[in-house]
Amino acid sequence: MLLSKSLQAATAAALLFAAPVFAQQPDIADQTVDTAKMLRDAALKDDTAYNLLESLTTEIGPRLAGSPKEQEAIDWAIAKFKKLGFDKVYTEPVMVPYWERLSEHAEVLAPFTQPLHITALGKSVGTPEGGVTAEIAHFKTFEDLQKADASDIKGKIVFISNRMERHIDGAGYGPAVRARGAGAVEASKKGALAIVIRSIGTDSHRLPHTGGVNYVEGVKPIAAAALSNPDADLMERILTRGKPITLKLDIQVKHHGEVEMANVIGEITGREQPEDIVLIGGHLDSWDLGTGAVDDGAGVAITMATADLINRLAPQRPRKTIRVVLFAAEEIGLVGARQYAKVHGDDAGKHHQIGAESDFGAGPIWALASNVNRDSTFVVDKMAQLMRPLGVLRHERKSSGGPDVGQMGRAGMPTLDLMQDGTDYFDLHHTADDTLDKVKPEHMRKNVAAWAVFTYIAAEWPGEFK
């Protein structure tokens, strides 16, 4: 069909106006693709990540936020960054509340007697000395607790029995975890003496899952604990007998106030655009029950090893700076990440070009998702293509960047998610089972291979992701 002269002119003008949007973004050089392939293949033969994880879990172990063990981990990370030859190694201070569990005990006293396996939720207050003994008020979900009448709760111990569903991407965590985070406040508003919840996990082991509880000003804090999943099943079976359950709960903790910890930062300086940053990392702290191997020692090791692998290209390093941040005190409320975003948030999407986080264990990466501008999606597509031999697919969801790096994402920095297979992650999450023997060296290698592709291309490509 022929166009009128006026329509032809308008169309030409529109094309001229639109063309620069795409012309502004350069292609990915063939040499960049070849180097990314080389790094990918080299990572599959390299055990730096696993060796770092072995060192962290063996020499430091559990790294409770604010504790002397977190400080040991900070010192460990500084020493490892320097030994690996990072150009810059430094810390940024973070004030962290230090909470410590002292003892925890629970038992059913009636209508039968049964010992229970529990763990205090992080930041929980304690019970009075000697514990509390009361009838339980059972709710299947947090939403049921919200709807309940206070007269059915006052003077009792609330028990929430909601179950977490297993998904490859951990999608069952969000709906279930409300019981842990907000349950204590809701129960306290209605006069409960304490709260116990079914562990937020997918396993059937008699190992309870800890995790943070949140309190709010103006609502009396009450003791909060998680039952192992088999013990939660036991409680539900007892309830089918039609008789009230009397529970004794005794939790003793100590709040030490705020102490100074730090985010630990290692950098590989860019050769041409050193002020521009590709941000990667994980969190250095862990809960105190296991040794923090999958949460998040694996992420710490994967991102450190990724930058180290790329650093071996010296003197021909990428044009932009690779910054690895090991965040403090993630488990008790993203404390280090929020401090980082407070300091650097104005730079999100400017010199902080793009970021991603490894904080979902050590399972193999199966998908790549992004939150970048439309005109740079071809770069992410190329990354996914190069990761395909590792079993990685391109995912259509919008990425968040992870809990810690995602704080910069919320401030405007483009992000990627290298999505790990989390089918069994919540079997181990926040339990005493979070130990090195659960991590497969070959999975660590595959993680680094995928991370190397993303990190190198992001740091070498001269275009903009925002």
Looking at the structure, tell me whether residues 239 and 311 fall in a common domain: no
Looking at the structure, tell me whether residues 51 and 109 fall in a common domain: no
Residue 8 domain-assigned (yes or no): no
Q: Tokens standing for 153? A: 């709760």
Buried b (16+ CB within 10 A) or exposed e, 252-284: bbeeeeebebbbbbbbbbbbeebebbbbbbbbb
Q: What is the mean pLDDT of residues 334-340?
A: 98
Residue 6 domain-assigned (yes or no): no
Q: Say which CATH number the domain at 221 has.
A: 3.50.30.30
SS3 state at 213? coil
Looking at the structure, tell me whether residues 50 and 129 fall in a common domain: no
Residues 232-248 have pLDDT tens digits of 999 999 999 999 999 99
Residue 46 domain-assigned (yes or no): yes
Residues 25-48 have pLDDT tens digits of 999 999 999 999 999 999 999 999
- Residue 15: pLDDT band (50, 70, 90) is very low
Looking at the structure, tell me whether residues 355 and 244 fall in a common domain: no
> Percentage of the chain surpassing pLDDT 70?
95
The answer to whether residue 265 scores a pLDDT higher than 50 is: yes
Looking at the structure, tell me whether residues 283 and 410 fall in a common domain: yes
SS3 state at 342? helix
Residue 2 domain-assigned (yes or no): no
Looking at the structure, tell me whether residues 314 and 346 fall in a common domain: yes
Q: Which of 330, 357, 460, 464 is catalytic?
A: 330
Buried b (16+ CB within 10 A) or exposed e, 352-365: bbbbbbbbbbbbbb
CA–CA distance, 163 with 197 (Å, rounded to integer): 10
* Cis omega (within 30 of 0) for bond into 296: yes
Tell me which residue range forms the domain holding 183: 101-256
User: Looking at residue 32, what is its pLDDT?
Assistant: 98
Amino acid identity of 215?
Y
Residue 437: phi, psi to the nearest 5? -60, -15
Alpha-helical (H) ranges within 85-228 are: 142-147, 173-189
Residue 7 domain-assigned (yes or no): no
Residues 167-206 have pLDDT tens digits of 999 999 999 999 999 999 999 999 999 999 999 999 999 9
**Among residues 256, 285, 312, which one ends one of the domains?**
256
Q: Tokens standing for 445? A: 């290698």
Looking at the structure, tell me whether residues 124 and 225 fall in a common domain: yes
**Among residues 211, 231, 256, which one ends one of the domains?**
256
CA–CA distance, 338 with 97 (Å, rounded to integer): 14
The answer to whether residue 1 scores a pLDDT higher than 50 is: no
Q: What is the mean pLDDT of residues 299-327?
A: 96
**Among residues 256, 279, 310, which one ends one of the domains?**
256
Residue 294 domain-assigned (yes or no): yes
Q: What is the mean pLDDT of residues 200-221?
A: 98
Residue 264 domain-assigned (yes or no): no
Looking at the structure, tell me whether residues 221 and 309 fall in a common domain: no
The answer to whether residue 397 scores a pLDDT higher than 70 is: yes
Looking at the structure, tell me whether residues 191 and 147 fall in a common domain: yes
Looking at the structure, tell me whether residues 274 and 418 fall in a common domain: yes
User: Looking at residue 3, what is its pLDDT?
Assistant: 33
Residues 145-156 have pLDDT tens digits of 999 999 999 999
The answer to whether residue 11 scores a pLDDT higher than 50 is: no
CA–CA distance, 347 with 354 (Å, rounded to integer): 11
Residues 361-394 have pLDDT tens digits of 999 999 999 999 999 999 999 999 999 999 999 9
Q: Say which CATH number the domain at 393 has.
A: 3.40.630.10
Q: What's the CA angle centered on 12, arms 9 and 18, to 5 degrees? A: 140
The answer to whether residue 23 scores a pLDDT higher than 60 is: no
User: Looking at residue 181, what is its pLDDT?
Assistant: 97
Q: What is the mean pLDDT of residues 249-274?
A: 98
The answer to whether residue 53 scores a pLDDT higher than 80 is: yes
Q: What is the mean pLDDT of residues 344-348?
A: 96
Residue 15 domain-assigned (yes or no): no
The answer to whether residue 108 scores a pLDDT higher than 80 is: yes
Q: Give the predicted TM-score (pTM) of the model.
A: 0.93
Looking at the structure, tell me whether residues 139 and 189 fall in a common domain: yes
Looking at the structure, tell me whether residues 173 and 279 fall in a common domain: no
Number of separate domains in the chain:
2
Alpha-helical (H) ranges within 44-141 are: 48-55, 68-84
Per the prediction, the chain carries an average pLDDT of 95
Amino acid identity of 113?
T
Q: What is the mean pLDDT of residues 288-298?
A: 98
Residues 418-443 have pLDDT tens digits of 999 999 999 999 999 999 999 999 99
Q: Is 464 a catalytic residue?
A: no
CA–CA distance, 72 with 74 (Å, rounded to integer): 5
Strands (DSSP E) found in 269-360: 273-283, 320-327, 352-357
Across-strand partners of 101?
253
- Residue 6: pLDDT band (50, 70, 90) is very low
User: Looking at residue 302, what is its pLDDT?
Assistant: 98
